[in-house]
């Protein structure tokens, strides 16, 4: 398995971001984790990295319900960007709305990025959660 260098956590809940950082630190010592409290900030960072030719995140943990730019709007903009690398996006949500699952499947069909759907709360992150790209590629 390859090393994951960069991970983005995009979630408006500071407790969730803290928990994600703690879980990730236990399995991914070499990864740099960047946190954003809304989709707009995360998207702006992705676009800035594309413009400056910096390393893009290999894994994104993305909440759906956030202020300013929610997860679905983030994805809509993200999949329009010209990104050669295939990025693993883990949608993390407490939603039980069947429409959200339908949207997830719709986004999976529109992009070559690997998009997973995970319900909150997340109690543990496995190393395999960061390396699904190796299995899917």
Question: Consecutive sets of 10 residues in the chain, 137 residues long: mean pLDDT of each?
Answer: 81 89 76 92 96 92 92 94 90 80 84 81 56 39
Give Cα 9 distance to the centre of its chain: 6
Residue 68 falls within a domain, yes or no?
A: yes
Which pLDDT does position 48 carry in this prediction? 96
Which pLDDT does position 100 carry in this prediction? 79
Structural domains of the chain, count: 1
Residue 69 falls within a domain, yes or no?
A: yes
> Integer distance in angstroms from the first to the last C-alpha of the chain?
12
Which pLDDT does position 72 carry in this prediction? 92
Which pLDDT does position 133 carry in this prediction? 38
User: Torsions phi, psi of 46, nearest 5?
Assistant: -60, -45
Tell me the whole-structure pTM to 2 decimals. Answer: 0.84
**To 10 degrees, the CA torsion angle through 101, 32, 48, 85?**
-60
Which pLDDT does position 81 carry in this prediction? 93
Which pLDDT does position 24 carry in this prediction? 81
Range of the domain at 71: 6-136
Residue 1 falls within a domain, yes or no?
A: no
CATH (domain of 103): 3.40.50.2300
Tell me whether strands 6-10 and 88-93 are parallel, antiparallel or unpaired: unpaired
């Amino acid at each position: 398995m390859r090393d994951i260098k960069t991970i983005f956590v995009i979630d408006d809940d500071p407790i969730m971001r803290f928990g994600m950082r703690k879980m990730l630190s236990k399995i991914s010592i070499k990864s740099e984790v960047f946190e954003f409290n809304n989709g707009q900030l995360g998207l702006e960072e992705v676009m800035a990295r594309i413009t400056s030719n910096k390393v893009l995140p290999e894994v994104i943990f993305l909440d759906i319900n956030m202020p300013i730019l929610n997860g679905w709007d983030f994805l809509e903009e993200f999949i329009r960007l010209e990104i050669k690398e295939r990025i693993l996006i883990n949608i993390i949500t407490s939603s039980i709305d069947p429409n959200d699952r339908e949207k997830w499947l719709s986004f999976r069909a529109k992009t070559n990025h690997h998009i997973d759907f995970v319900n909150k709360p997340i109690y543990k992150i496995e190393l395999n959660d960061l390396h699904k790209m190796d299995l899917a590629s």
